[in-house]
């Protein structure tokens, strides 16, 4: 199923309502509203979130990074000089299946309704879960010192 800017926000809320785990890997996060959604989700008993965010060009919000860091939900897609961490991948694990989004939308207000974005939704065949798990093991949690310097 192809999701466009007209439906991404509604579908996001629909999936948050039925998921028990969310895994996200995106190049940038700027939306405090979407971060609030994640923090509220994480506060529910039995719910789990993992977020890997890039920070190239200082486009990711330091406020959002600090909030996710404080809840121990965040790792940094640390870039080397020759590349950027630039995926846009979302996994919503429900009791019945794991729904995968792959597309162009970062975790930003623009990506969730202002820009022309496309996200393809499908059921994960376990390959996306494996990729997310590998990336989660690969990257590190930010330190308070790193966040201070980034800010």
Length of the chain: 151
Q: What are the tens digits of pLDDT across the range 53-67?
A: 999 888 899 999 999
Q: What are the tens digits of pLDDT across the range 123-132?
A: 999 999 999 9
Supply the pLDDT for residue 13. Answer: 97
Which residue bears the tokens 């995968």?
100
Is the Cβ–Cβ distance between 77 and 25 less than 8 Å? yes
Angle at 116 between CA 79 and CA 49, to 5 degrees: 50
Residue 16 to residue 148: CA distance in whole angstroms: 31
Answer yes or no: is pLDDT of 81 > 90.
no
Supply the pLDDT for residue 34. Answer: 96
Supply the pLDDT for residue 31. Answer: 96
Answer yes or no: is pLDDT of 84 > 90.
no
């Amino acid at each position: 199923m192809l999701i466009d800017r007209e439906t991404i926000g509604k579908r996001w809320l629909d999936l948050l309502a039925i998921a028990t785990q969310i895994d996200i890997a995106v190049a940038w996060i700027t939306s405090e509203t979407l971060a609030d959604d994640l923090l509220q989700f994480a506060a529910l008993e039995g719910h789990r979130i993992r977020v890997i965010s890039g920070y190239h060009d200082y486009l990711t919000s330091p406020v959002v990074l600090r909030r996710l860091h404080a809840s121990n939900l965040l790792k940094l897609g640390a870039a080397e000089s020759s590349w950027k961490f630039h995926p846009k991948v979302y996994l919503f694990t429900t009791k019945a299946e794991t729904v995968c989004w792959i597309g162009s939308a970062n975790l930003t207000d623009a990506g969730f309704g202002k820009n022309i974005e496309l996200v393809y939704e499908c059921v994960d065949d376990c390959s996306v879960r494996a990729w997310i798990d590998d990336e989660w093991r690969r990257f590190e949690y930010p330190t308070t010192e790193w966040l201070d310097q980034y800010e």
